[in-house]
Amino acid sequence: MSPKTLYDKIWDAHLAHEAEDGTCLLYIDRHLVHEVTSPQAFEGLRMANRKVRAPDKTIAVPDHNVPTTEGRENPDAMPEDSRTQVAALDKNAKDFGIHYYPVSDVRQGIVHIVGPEQGWTLPGMTVVCGDSHTATHGAFGALAHGIGTSEVEHVLATQTLIQTKSKNMKVEITGKLRPGVTAKDITLSVIGRTGTAGGTGYVIEYCGEAIRDLSMEGRMTVCNMAIEGGARAGLIAPDEKTFAYIKGRPHAPKGAQWEAAMDWWKTLYSDDDAHWDKVITIKGEDIAPVVTWGTSPEDVLPIDGEVPAPESFTGGKTEAAKRALEYMGLKPGQKLKDIEIDTVFIGSCTNGRIEDLRAAAEILKGKKIKVKRAMVVPGSGLVRAQAEEEGLAEIFTEAGFEWRLAGCSMCLAMNPDQLQPGERCAATSNRNFEGRQGRGGRTHLMSPAMAAAAAVTGKLTDIREIM
Amino acid sequence: MEKFVKLTGVAAPMPLVNIDTDMIIPKQFLKTIKRSGLGANLFDEMRYDDDGNEIPDFVLNQPAYREAKILVAGDNFGCGSSREHAPWALLDFGIRCVISTSFADIFYNNCFKNGILPIALPQEKVDELMDDAERGANAVLTVDLENQEITGPDGGTIGFDVDPWRKHCLLNGLDDIGLTMEKAASIDAFEAKAATERPWV
Ligand code: SF4
């Protein structure tokens, strides 16, 4: 047999049909659904009198547009448009008989945090969701990617997706990371290097010692942002850490099934002499704590750097950088560490897991914030409960943070959690686009520890100086 | 889905690179549970000021481009979120074709599902068409999918590539789901095999 990459292996195991012209039907093992990109898909099913083909493989949870303030179980407490979408999902989940975690359920949370937490996401699976950060699940060695609403409808009706195969890219992070450098810094640095279109047409597999050393949480952070580099999906081969994370989760296989699953999971790695269309190697020790300065996730620099001059770029990027600096209210040559911020957001499917909250709380312990507003939005109700049990919630509230209920919140600011024009935010989320966190709002992306450090100093801060 | 055979219309220039889906349709407009009506808010934050008045400089607010059917855009158009509201908004405004050097993957797929033709061309061809698009009301292009050819205002033509299957679906306005359901036997067979090989799934 010819050598294969991990992506090749998962692809081959899910090919349900291949037409003569090469169009493939890929079978989908898990379909995650949320309230914002699904209503039109269910409406389409109803209109065509179609059913959900595999309700047992379909899991729904409202997250994007739910309030994160107390009392939200009461529908009257929601703004009308949120209520409409949540009510539509409630009804669709019931009518079509799919798994559902309503807002009142402690297991509710951001779809990409709930999936792994409940054991829905397993190695070697195909996972899709009408959300681009579905790549998160790749941390388990699952082929996971975002789809549009028409494709959501297609998967609901047929449990397959029409696909063409992507190319294989290997991103290797060798050696050890330096102190203060996290999974977020790895993933941002890769995008800084390849650009937001560098991964277009590829599925990325992350490997190397620095990736192996990451916890499952950290690996999810890395894969989460594969899409920000343009890739269809990000993957990390499963290993003992992966299996240990999964074991005992509510929907993980048990007993003899576990043994059978393990037999297969252990074959899920890229063969030594597999073919790669592109290889990128970065030394772990060369990665610094980074922040973004512009309005694209590729606008990344080490925290001890300076705001770049638009002329230092070529092609259309010069114009884009000019526009970005104007939008961000920054001048070339300004030290990143001098940039003052007024808002801090810790949360999202990139960095809303327990480990992220621990890292932030570690910095905040016994300190007070110097910003106008800071909020922590745990990624799920269970993360929130655990953080309360560990005493983290208290550290946050004593420091002056708002302690919220689970949801996407200020990552995309569809609910009332928004920046005002001109406000500047240190955020642990994944996108710094114009208006992403509120019209005119300015976003700097970074790791949870760096965001916490910014909260206590009121400026972008080099975590290494306060560790 | 409406068929796409041949399209003649004004092309609007948007040379900015990395035009993302948040720019195409900001999230406050994703609260709808319908597909229609999004055209009014296409490029909302670039198109209107804080009071909701049109920003005269923005290309689609200029008299010549108000009826544009084609966009000629900078690299990596449609990056960002998976929201299909982006092509819905383009379509609702009347845009049926976007030309750029490159597109983000999910956006590119989403276009075909909605009868929009995204065309990727080499930089120098996009530059040429961008010049054409700068000509205001004279910026009329004809996009002929059957022959895979764009005709410019001066009669010059540029060929383009498109996946044969996607072309077939666009030309005939075919619904993917119906076509896939015709392959139900293959899906059934796959499911049965997978159930024995990977029963834990
Ligand atoms: S947290 Fe942000 S990126 Fe993640 S699913 Fe929600 S909106 Fe998307």
**CB atoms B31 and A436 under 8 Å:** no
Distance A339 CA to ligand 1 centre (A): 26
Least CB-CB distance to A413: which of B27, B80, B200? B27
Distance from CA of A464 to the nearest CA of B (A): 31
Contact list in B for residue A13 (CB cut-off 8 A) is 198
**CB atoms A160 and B187 under 8 Å:** yes
Burial class (CB in 10 A: 0-12, 13-18, 19+), B57: exposed
Distance from CA of A316 to the nearest CA of B (A): 6
Q: Is B181 on the interface with A (CB under 8 A)?
A: yes
Distances B91 to A5, A115, A309, B88 between C-alpha atoms, Å: 39, 33, 37, 5
Per 3-state DSSP, what percentage of chain A is helix, strand, and coil (rounded to 5)? Answer: 40, 20, 45
- Over residues A317-369, the pLDDT tens digits come to 999 999 999 999 999 999 999 999 999 999 999 999 999 999 999 999 999 99
Higher pLDDT, B105 or A371: A371
Q: Is A146 on the interface with B (CB under 8 A)?
A: yes
ipTM: 0.90
Number of A/B CB contacts below 8 angstroms equals: 181
Least CB-CB distance to B23: which of A125, A153, A434? A434
Distance from CA of B152 to the nearest CA of A (A): 23
Does residue A348 line the site of ligand 1, with CB under 6 A? yes
Q: Is the pLDDT of residue A78 over 90?
A: no
- Over residues B162-199, the pLDDT tens digits come to 999 899 999 998 888 988 998 999 999 999 999 999 99
Per-residue exposure over A32-49, b if at least 16 CB sit within 10 Å of its own CB, e if not: bbbbbbbbbbbbbbeeee
DSSP for A272-295, written as a single string? TT---SEEEEEEGGG---EEE-SS
- Over residues A187-209, the pLDDT tens digits come to 999 999 999 989 999 999 999 99
- Among A119-128, A367-376, A420-429, B165-174, which is the least confidently predicted range? B165-174
> Which 8-state DSSP code applies to residue A420?
P
Nearest CA to ligand 1 atom 6: A408
Amino acid symbol at A370: K
| Nearest partner of A122 among A216, A35, A199, judged by Cα | A216
Taking phi over 0 as left and psi of -120 to 50 as alpha, with beta for the rest, A84 belongs to: alpha
Does this model's pTM top 0.90? My answer is: yes
Per the document, the length of chain A is 467
**CB atoms B186 and A25 under 8 Å:** yes
Among B1, B14, B18, most A C-beta atoms within 10 A, so best to mutate, is: B18
The structure tokens listed for A97 are 């008989």
Minimal-distance CA residue of chain B relative to A260: B198
